[in-house]
A and B are shown apart, each in its own frame.
Chain A
Amino acid sequence: MNQTIQDHKPPRIPQRFLRWYCKPELLEDIEGDIHEDFNKRYTRSGKRHAHVYYFLDVVRFFRPFVIKKLFKTQNRNVMFKLNTTIAFRHLAKNKLYSFINITGLAIGIAACLIIAHYVIFQLSYDKFHDNADRVYRVHNQTFQNGEDLGTGFYSGYALGPSLIRDVPEIEMQSRVHPYYGGAVVSKVVDSVAVTPFREQDILFVEPAFLQMFTFNFIQGNHNTALDDPSSIVITESTMRKYFGNEPNVVVGQVLKVDGGWANGHYRISGVVQDFPANSHFQFDFLLPIKRVLMRDQYTEEGTDWGWTNFYSYVMLSPQSTEAAAEAKMADLMHQYIPEQLESDGQKQVLSLQNVPDIHLRSEVTGDEFGAVGDIKSVYFMVIIAAFILLIAWINFINLSTAKATERSLEVGIKKSMGALRPQLMSQFLTESFWVNLFAIVLAIGLTYVFMPILSEALGVILEVDMTNPLIVGALLALILAGPVLAGFYPALILSSFKTVTALKGRFVSKKSHAFTVRKGLVVFQFIISTFLIAGTFTVSRQLNFMQNQDTGIDMSRTLAIKGPDTNVSFASFEAFKNNMEQVAGVEAFSSSRSIPGNGYNWGTEARRSGTDRSNNGTVNVTWVDATFLNTYGIEVIAGRDFTEAQRQARNGMIINEATVKAFGLGSPENALTEKIILSGDTMAIRGVVKDHNWQSLHKAYGPAIFLYRFASADFFSLGVNPQNTDKVIKAAEREFEAAFPGNPIEYYFVDDFFNRQYQEDKAFANIFKAFSAFAIFAACLGLFGLASYSVVQKAKEIGIRRVLGASGTHITILFSKRYLILTIIANAIAIPITYYGIKSWLENFAFSIGITAELFLVPMALLLIIATLTISLQTIRAAMANPVKNLRSE
């Protein structure tokens, strides 16, 4: 051929790959061919080209006829079959042992699978939107006099349009305005409203909202659904709720919305599939934002940045970056309202957060909507999963090694017949393989059984999905790595017996070494157990504390009724109030705009009268009537309660102790002489109430202000005599229907309502309970294995001791002692770790139980008792056995 072609050096890695897989008799030929082509390409098209094609050629030759038998298996297949038979016989012979071993592993793996589902779910939030990677929510970070006041996402309605105008990177934006306070929605049939339901999840959005996020329209047109200001888009489940299960065409039907923001009739223009659960926001209805913008509140001069009831989503154009857009928008608000921000001493920095990050990594420091996840809790779950798997494997190791006694003869005979160590190891690894495989199959079954229960505890409903690539990958990894990781050490120990000693029955040649490793493993298990039990104990104590702590508010005897949304008039309110006050068992009646556990009505700025605007601080305001503080038993420590005799402004405000402190008003009595400028209005301080927990005990007392309002239709609170509860509820249902026809009644005892805030904490506690139960179970299995191992080993010693007169108790104590020492060591190591864990968890709560010795002592005592019982089970049996039996067997 062409002799002018130079010889070049081919790339090493593909070459090695080729040499690895290629049949030796074909190698020279094929390698030569590829090399020749390589040289030709090198000369013709250059090095890179040649290298790429060399690699491609190598891959192309990876064909059946070229590949050598990578597993020279003929012989091994037979051995594998034989080993499998032996493994099955062995498993069948020791049914209890096999059962414990396989179930232990299976439960561990199942727990991991369930956790994996949870983690995958948490990580999947908002990824279902086609444009998820370029849709962002706009955040604003507020600084006052250089101090970071936190990051939020609410802004005035002028923000959205100015973003489009000033930031070219932003392709589209949509403002969102929630329907604060909810509304009553009813279907209009022949001009009559029927089937009213109270609805919370209503959003006012712009048409661009439908483009940015991915909606699946079942009915209606995706592009025009929100163009008409009287159109409404509903979800599929909402359609079922109002129109029944028959798949009708509902587009064109009319819904009536009553709730204060944008009352009126809306024509359904589209039905969309419900959002999956892994979305950071949910909705039942979408209304055009034009409707809410028509309100006077938003059309008056100077309201464009003032009413921060809106938030915005934006979609960046495909080629632009988050950083570029943020650079242009950071000080946007200072271009529009410089004077106002200046005089407030404020700096507002706008930023973006990618929508899929919101759920786990929200930058917002205040309240988010919906349940927010936390990337830390995801990490926490991953660590727990790793622990559980580790515990399960350690158990397997301990139990398998402990079985050594029974295998020594088998090993001895095999060795004397000429079996080599690797062959014995492969036998034990085969056994490990089968146990692991059974465990995995069982674990998959258990996952299906336990998922519904545990997903409830986790607070999210999860479907088992064994086809998820991550789960499949994890299972494959478990099948491949599990047997080796868990089986290697036992195989090493079992195959290490010296032939003669093994045959003699004195099998443990490297006794001390093997024993130390297993002791170490048991100690490790118990460290984890102590940690988890102490954690469970702390979490449930804290939860208990939070639910029973004196909040400074009397909630257990207070029944709250959610106020009506339609057909409200002052007359109907008066009628309802008067009638309810007549009912026996109703000790107080109050109306207010919010109740404990429902948050505050208004977060705004305030300062002490006589100081300038830069002293503004944030306060939270709630409107209540004159009987509210009395109904809820909130103690007034200075000044007076509101009175019905005066109008709102004259009544002034009632503040809590935290407000007194925050604005430097001196003593509560002194505060009565001061005035506070609340969002521009100077008001007198009428009274000071004791600090109380208006929100969950996660939060510290903050400045809170009550303002007077003669009547509110948001919440009615009834002080109820516990003996008449049922009667009061019946009367309330009747009177509510009579006074506010067309409004479904919704009521609850305030303590239940308040404790709903702890749902996530409860879920956390449940998870902890489930997993620590598993950890204890597994650790005890390990201990059980270890104890039985040593009891069998020392059978003769026990026999001799018995013959020489030792009592059963004495022997039990003697043999239990060393294992108890193991648990004590584990406890000692666990304390600092646990201390750190508990401390950092309790930091999440403004009000916590504090760290006491009890938190450590109770779990330790519990663990010791369980451990003692486990060990005694074995040692007592050994001690009670007839010594003759043990001594005779030689």
Chain B
Amino acid sequence: MKGTNLGEFEEVVLLTIAALTDEAYSVAICDEIDRVTERKVKLGVVHAVLNRLEKKGFVRSELGEATKERGGRRKRFFIVTHAGKVALTKVKAQRDELWSLIPDFNLKIA
């Protein structure tokens, strides 16, 4: 397995899962990323990332109830694991540190 660091898109997906709490399943994640980042995300890509995150141990999944709009199929809900939370926190800490080092004027948008 490749290293357990987080890629950019992986981070977005992981954050979205955390944000959606109980409602985090693939289509919802997709829609949410779409809404927040205004990126058109393909389902297949999200699935690939979810698959990878699960392998890396950052999320786990469980099956929900059968629903009508899915033709009677169950949703797979994702929950951020402890390792996932650690990874997210670590990333945020690193970012914060970098942010704190930036002098004010450098980021003023003209």
Contacts and interface: CB of A to CB of B under 8 A. Distances in A.
Interface of A: 1-3, 5, 7, 10, 26, 28-37, 39-40, 57, 60-61, 63, 65-66
Nearest to B51: A65
A492 B42 CA distance: 49
B69 A36 contact: yes
A605 to B, nearest CB: 75
A1 B70 CA distance: 11
A261 to B, nearest CB: 69
By secondary structure, the B interface counts as: helix
Interface residues of B, number: 20
8 contacts: A2-B69, A3-B69, A7-B71, A29-B73, A33-B26, A33-B27, A33-B70, A57-B44
Interface in B66-95: 67-71, 73-76
B19 interface: no
B43 interface: yes
A100 to B, nearest CB: 53
A39 B69 contact: yes
Given A1-B28, A29-B76, A36 B48 contact: no
B59 to A, nearest CB: 13
Given A33-B43, A35-B69, A65-B48, 19 more contacts: A3-B68, A7-B71, A26-B47, A26-B51, A28-B76, A29-B73, A30-B47, A32-B75, A35-B70, A35-B71, A36-B27, A37-B27, A37-B43, A39-B69, A40-B69, A57-B44, A60-B42, A60-B43, A66-B44
Nearest to B66: A32
Interface string B51-64: 11000000000010
B51 to A, nearest CB: 5
Contacts of A40: 69
A35 B48 CA distance: 18
A7 B74 CA distance: 14
A551 to B, nearest CB: 77
Contact of B43 (A3, A10, A39, A57): A57
A28 B69 contact: no
B53 to A, nearest CB: 12
A65 to B, nearest CB: 5
Nearest to A2: B69
B55 to A, nearest CB: 9
B43 A32 contact: no
A7 B43 contact: no
A15 to B, nearest CB: 10
Q: Which of B28, B42, B68, B71 has the most CB of A within 10 A?
A: B71
Contacts of B76: 28-29
Contact of A34 (B28, B43, B51, B67): B43
Nearest to B76: A29
A61 B71 contact: no
Q: Which of B28, B43, B70 has the most CB of A within 10 A?
A: B70
Contacts of A57: 43-44
A27 to B, nearest CB: 9
A3 B28 CA distance: 14
Nearest to A10: B71
Interface string B17-57: 00000000011100000000000001110011001100000
A33 B75 CA distance: 8
B26 A63 contact: no
Given A1-B28, A37-B27, A60-B42, A32 B71 contact: yes
Contacts of A63: 44, 48
A110 B47 CA distance: 49
B73 A7 contact: no
A60 B26 contact: no
A224 to B, nearest CB: 52
B69 A7 contact: yes
A5 B26 contact: no
A32 B68 CA distance: 10
A652 to B, nearest CB: 91
Contacts of B47: 26, 29-30, 33, 61, 65-66
Contacts of B73: 28-29, 31-32, 35
A23 to B, nearest CB: 10
